[in-house]
Amino acid sequence: MKKNERLKKLLKVHCAQCGTCCSDPIATVTHHDLRRLVKHTGKPARNLVKLYTCSDFIDQDEIEEDLIYLSYGKRIMGLRKLDERCIFLSKDRQCTVYEARPILCRTYPLELTITEENKLDEINIRDIILDKSVSCKYTYGKQKPLKKILNYAVQDVIETDSFERKLTKWNKRAEKGGKNEFLAFLGFKE
Ligand code: SF4
Ligand code: SF4
C-alpha cells in the first residue's frame, strides 16, 4: 500500500470502546498524567496509581525506561485496577475520566513516532495489538485530523522526557523510600 493511503487508513482507525485495553495492559502514567487526574477527580494521587512489578506487564521490552527504584525493589507507575479493570472504567465500558485520560489512552490503539522537528515519522497499530497479545476490536470510521493525534504525540514526547528526567534524579538518590516518598518527590503531598 502506498504511504499516503496507509496513513489515511490508519487515521480512520477508531477505538470501539470494548474496554479490553483498559484491563490489560496496564496504563502507565507520567506525573503530568497524574496531575491532570488528581485535579479532575479531586482524589489523592496515591489512590489513583499503583507501583507495579515488572512481571505485571505483558511487554517487558517497553518498561525499562520507566523503572522506579524503591527501597523494596523496582516498580513501574500505572493506573490502579479494581477487579482487573482500570479504576476509571465504568460498568458500561466508558472511560469516566475521558477529558483527563492519560496521553497513552488518547492515541490507542495507534502508536506514533515523531521527528525532532515534531513531524510524523511513523504511525502504526501497536505491536501488542498486532501480535494479538491484546484483542482489540478497533473499527474504521471518519478520518481523524493528523494534527490532532500529532499534537498528542508531541505532548507525549515532552511529558515522557520530563518524567524520565525525574526518574533519573530519583533513581540516583541514596535514600530511596517507598510509594509515598516517591509521590511526594513528584510533588504529590497527600
Ligand atoms: S483512563 Fe480511561 S481510557 Fe485509560 S485505561 Fe482507564 S478507563 Fe481506559
Ligand atoms: S482494545 Fe481497542 S477497541 Fe478495545 S478499548 Fe482498547 S483501543 Fe478500543
Identity of the residue numbered 15: C
DSSP count for the chain of H helices, then E strands: 7, 9
Task: Give, for ligand 1, the residue of 95, 107, 110, 138 to mutate: max count of ligand atoms closer than 8 Å to Cβ.
Answer: 95
> What are 71-128's pLDDT values in tens digits?
999 999 999 999 999 999 999 999 999 999 999 999 999 999 999 999 999 999 999 9
CB 179 within 8 A of CB 46: yes
CB 87 within 8 A of CB 79: yes
> What are 154-166's pLDDT values in tens digits?
999 999 999 999 9
Is the C-beta atom of 125 inside 6 A of ligand 2? no
In this prediction the pTM is 0.93
